[in-house]
A and B are shown apart, each in its own frame.
Chain A
Amino acid sequence: MPSELLIGLIFLPLLGACLTVLPWRWSTRLGVFAGLVSLPVLLVALTLAVIREGAWYYSLGGWTAPLGIRLFVDPLALLMLWMVAIIGGVAAAHAWHDFRPGTPEGARFWPLWLLLTAAMNALFLSADLFNLYVCLELVTLAAIPLIAMAGTATSIRAAMRYLLLALLASLVYLLGVALLYNATGTLDLYLMTQTLAASDGPATSLAFALIAVGLLLKGAVFPLHVWLPNAHASAPGPVSAVLSALVVKTAVYLVYRLWLWTLPAEDPMQGAVELFAVLGAAALIYGGILALLQERLKLVIAYSTVAQLGYLLLVLPLASVTAWQAASYQLLSHGLAKAAMFLAAANILHAVGSDRLADLERLDQRTPLSLFALALGGVSIMGLPPSGGFLAKWLLLEAAWQEGRWLLLFVLVLGSLLAAGYVFRILAAALRRADPTEAEDAEGTSPIGRRQAGYALLLALLALLAGFGAAPILEVIDAGAPAGWSAP
């Protein structure tokens, strides 16, 4: 029974996408309902199963690896699936207003959105290197037209650049996979560990290097991040939310899987984790500084994504349970908070007509709920208690302290300061009163639906709640820590 849940998580959105291609309104509604609303339901059952039984594999077609493709579910995969369901679901609810079924935009939007959901679920569950390549391609090809749906020249150009760079990344990744297959004889992530421990040579090292380059490019890790800010900033609101919160995480998730599960601990390529940490630190500082310099709200938030992804890589050399908790919590809370900020920014853009920081003012009167959501999201990004982001950063500081990594500590503190800088800059611009004598009313503001504001707020509150309700989540996450990341 639990394995059918895995199938449902992938195939309900996939078949839902097929339904939404058909031209009737009822088929679109049915497709979206079946593809998105079913996910949390399935995940509740799956969570209970994982708590009861731990992690397990499922062989598709009955062919066991190395011949066939396996699916693998463990607490990390479960966490990512929950994020897709919740963040994707709330963003979809936000998108329902702008992309109604029956309109041409809606007809083009929902099939792609559902394919993206299916692709992400398939990616987080897959245990096969080539299958992961196909999932990565599907994620990319579904996300890019969604960016272009904004219709502006910037968005189309940004989407095109993302497409070309993503294809290059996929090719480099595939080259690495081909080398690995030849050297180890299998494509399964978890079977490969034994073969790698035995046959370790320049081929596998080059393969892992190539795969790393491909994944870093897809994950917009410094210095390969150039495509991200424009792509995420020019996309429609819900699309930006899912891109920053989920799509870039797929690449980081794969780096985790490959280095912490597949690569044996004694392999020389493990030294690459130090390089990852350096790149993460550079991303944190570079992204933070550039976020401080941006003039447009969505660009600030996009550069913040570049910075916050750095945290996820900084964790890699620390190798302790605390570090694992920190990484998982950063994945979760950044996803929730960033999606909240992008949805709120979309609301503000709709209300004010422009997202230039200079044009924002008196937002506490014009868009109170959205501003509140933006602020709450910012609180989590900054790492202020009691948000989930605070917990993640605190655990990260603790892990670095335990390992005696003073440079890392310094970088972490610097990163938080920069985050505080750009979040407060946004809030200052939003609360500005240009003309103190002007009548304080909501003139010049297009109304936002109550629901639209509500969705952004919901995600922000969840980011906050993640800080409160940490204990049970951490317990499940601890069970899924990679081997070798034992208690400090």
Chain B
Amino acid sequence: MIALTIDAIIAIGIVWLALQTVRGANVFSAIIMFIVFGLIMSLAWARLHAPDLALAEAAIGAGITGALLLVTWRRVHVLEGRTPQVGMAARSLWLTLPTALAAALLIASLGWVALTLPAEPATAGELAWQRLPEMGVSNPVTGVLLGFRAYDTLLEMAVLLAAWLGARVVASELRPGALPGPAHEEVPLVGALLSLVVPISLLVAVYLLQAGGSAPGGAFQGGAVLAAGGVLLCLTGRLESADQTSLIERIVLILGLAVFSSVGLMMLPLGEPMLAMPGVWAIYLIETALLLSIALTLVLLFAAAPGLRRSS
């Protein structure tokens, strides 16, 4: 009974927040609604017994994405001297009405179709549960991400690299400028906050990485938490934009993809198929490389700079 009430509140909340995001009077309130939407969505994932997804949604969907949206808003507001406006398309009835109708039709069909699906489908997930012990990890999400479907995760790292490369191209064309720093002299509280929170983010990131084998966690969630620490450093002016990407940064950016591919390719001369994991140590090695790449990519995307350096 209580569970049903909670689920209903979460469901209604998600829909209402989404409505508020789309109908937002201004872009800023839409962004805030979107962040809260992400947080409530992570509650929904938790209720669906997917704690890994809940962690990822909270860290990446609400956290990093929210920070990215807010810093973009601030860039447009400060550097271009104007408040971002809701686009014309969002106000035109000719576009919104058919879109809303199409979306409603889609949801209705999905709902109707979902009723015809079996409640306990016989999916490949069953096989995954059975063969999980062969992977050496007990968290099924890690088993799937880095074992059975490691190739997908590898290509996803390539997608992340492509995203940073693409951002670099567009940034070089549009030149967003330096991150708007603190406008006044700093409050002592901020220094205290940083000295506590940044080491904690490092600790939590490494813990999530290590715990990913047996409990909810993993490289993506850990990378997002580490990136959050990096974003704090950027926001408080401890890290500032550099004009060039340093060699270390370049190596760390490709580290995830390179290590993953190399470990996978290493199996071929040994007579094993590509991307067969030789042991749990391989999974942890790859996850560490992924953690570093993901964290650096996210921070660089936030700063919209080719590189970062310690501020003088």
Contact = CB atoms under 8 A, between A and B. Distances in A.
Complex A–B touching at CB under 8 A = yes
Interface of A: 3-4, 7, 11, 14-15, 17-18, 21-23, 58-63, 65-69, 104, 108, 111-112, 115, 118-119, 122, 130-131, 134-135, 137-138, 141-142, 144-146, 148-149, 151, 156, 159, 175, 179, 181-183, 185-187, 201-203, 206
Contacts of B95: none
A206 B113 contact: yes
B155 interface: yes
Q: Is the interface of B mostly helix, strand, loop or mixed?
A: helix
A67 B165 contact: no
B94 interface: no
A147 B34 CA distance: 30
Given A59-B273, A68-B148, A108-B165, A4 B268 contact: yes
Interface of B: 109-110, 112-114, 116-117, 121-124, 127-128, 131, 147-152, 155-156, 158-159, 161-163, 165-166, 168-170, 172-174, 245, 247, 250-251, 253-254, 257-258, 261, 264-265, 268, 272-277
Contacts, number: 157
Given A61-B151, A134-B156, A203 B162 contact: no
A463 to B, nearest CB: 30
Nearest to B131: A67
Contacts of A61: 147-148, 150-151, 273-277
Contacts of A115: 158, 161-162, 165
B158 A14 contact: yes
Contact of A67 (B113, B122, B127, B174): B127
A15 B170 contact: no
A185 B254 contact: no
Given A119-B158, A149-B169, A201-B116, A187 B124 contact: yes
Contacts of B155: 119, 122, 131, 134-135, 138
Contacts of A3: 273
Given A115-B165, A156-B173, A182 B110 contact: no
Closest 6 CB pairs of A and B: A145-B166, A66-B124, A145-B169, A18-B254, A185-B123, A141-B162
Given A63-B148, A68-B148, A206-B109, A186 B162 contact: no
Contacts of B162: 112, 115, 138, 141-142, 145
B163 A182 contact: no
Nearest to B273: A62
Given A134-B155, A141-B159, A148-B169, A60 B275 contact: yes
A22 B250 contact: yes
Nearest to A205: B113
Nearest to A126: B151
9 contacts: A4-B268, A68-B148, A111-B165, A112-B162, A115-B165, A149-B169, A156-B174, A182-B123, A203-B117
